[in-house]
Amino acid sequence: MKTMISLVRRHNEWRRNCVNLIASENVMSPACEKLYVSDLMHRYAEGTPRKRYYRGLEYIDQIEELVQEEFKKHFGAGFCDARPISGTLANYAAFAAISSRGDKILSLGVEHGSHVSHEKAGAAGTLGLEVGWLEYNDDCTMNAEKSCAKILEYRPRFIVIGGSVILFPQPIKELREACDKVGARIIYDAAHVLGLIAGGMFQDPLREGADIITTSTHKTFPGPQGGMILGNVGEETQKKIQTAVFPQFSSNHHLHRLPALYGALREMQAFGKNYAAQIIGNAQALAGELCNLGFDVLAKNRGFTQSHQVLVNCGMPGAGGEAASLLERANIILNKNIIPGDGTNPKNPRGIRIGVQEMTRFGMKEDEMKRIAGFIKAVVLDKKNPEAAGKEVAAFRADYQTAQYCFESGKFAF
């Protein structure tokens, strides 16, 4: 037991000294952490509110209903299922509900940001779906004209847009017209940009024509880890989604998430616009400074990014992994990532993917992003000793330890 406690403490201490730039992570506020730890973590609630297989759920039903109603209202959805325990399981449920084995679908493709669950290797392949890819430009934006032509030719059951890399809003309105002609649904995987959408600073998928949003709840949206499905679909499709969530792909749905999820949304309603705007401003500042310092930052001619993400081409195959490894030794945490031109093998990509949402959550702004760019340059380009750089990074991070854009701990305005 002492070993385990020691390992957890060492992890916590180390991460407090790190600049975390993993694009798929964030931290909850102290207020939401208090909501997260409760007796709910011990309980079961298979089924949907008021239609359960267990007893003792009087308050849990009310909690889940509050979550559903608040998210529907905020995102303009007629339907919400907060039970998926990850974004991948949300994708499984949504895909299974609106397709059958052998159906064709179109995704972004891994070179252009598709999540593995959209592909043959993940949920789509497991469900027996035939996956084709939409068309992209050289500047990391979707080619709407060619993608619409592909939809008309391929005649997919649905298309899935959004995913693991999303630098710019997607052309939903243009795709909607083509999808209507062939009877295809649009699923928007908002896992990475849900917080930007919640803050009104990215795009509004359901109002622009998407049928379903699948998402996780812990990236730019600073809630507990988990998933969700939102949408404007008919009652029959809603029931199919609910059946896919339970009993097909999950049992109990980690009830202690729900109060913290609700609290995170209320915080986003209060602070989300400023938070989302600062995230985007920080990403653009970091990208611009990296470019100034000699890095090959993608989508330069488009202003680099309109989201929380920045993509950098580090050069030769495998260079992305080498850069990420060096930076980890310097207390800068990010991941190697496939970029356009790398193909579909994720093991030796040229790129790194950077996300600024967590450091923004801790109060960093544009000037701090420029300092981070300097640290990255020192390690990757100037070949400074990573451990020496790591001491400077830890000293820099020491001033940014308190979550911002949230209610004060213990003051629940929910």
412 pLDDT tier (thresholds 50, 70, 90) = low
| pLDDT beyond 90 at 79 | yes
CA distance 167 to 263: 27
Other Cβ atoms closer than 10 A to 325: 11
Peptide bond just before 349 cis, omega within 30 deg: no
Question: What's the mean pLDDT when you consider all of the chain?
Answer: 96
Domains of the chain: 30-264 (3.40.640.10), 271-397 (3.90.1150.10)
As a 3-state breakdown, the chain gives helix, strand, coil percent values, each rounded to 5, of 45, 15, 40
pLDDT of residue 347: 85
| pLDDT beyond 90 at 398 | yes
Close Cβ partners of 96 (under 8 Å, ≥ 6 residues apart): 127, 240, 244, 248, 249
343 pLDDT tier (thresholds 50, 70, 90) = confident
| pLDDT beyond 90 at 250 | yes
Helices (H), 199-256: 205-208, 235-243
pLDDT of residue 345: 76
pLDDT of residue 413: 56
User: At which residue do the structure tokens 């730890």 appear?
Assistant: 37
411 pLDDT tier (thresholds 50, 70, 90) = low
Q: What are phi and psi of 344, to 5 degrees?
A: -110, 5
Q: Is the pTM of this model over 0.85?
A: yes
pLDDT of residue 409: 63
Among 356, 248, 343, which residue's Cα sits nearest to residue 306?
356
Close Cβ partners of 183 (under 8 Å, ≥ 6 residues apart): none
Among 230, 299, 232, which residue's Cα sits nearest to residue 265?
230
Mean pLDDT within 369-394? 98
Q: What is the pLDDT of residues 16-50, one digit of tens each?
A: 999 999 999 999 999 999 999 999 999 999 999 99
CA distance 154 to 329: 46
Mean pLDDT within 93-120? 97
| 337 close to 384: Cβ distance less than 8 angstroms | no
pLDDT of residue 352: 98
Percentage of the residues of the chain whose pLDDT score is greater than 90: 96
Sort strands 309-313 and 51-52 into parallel, antiparallel or unpaired: unpaired
Mean pLDDT within 178-193? 98
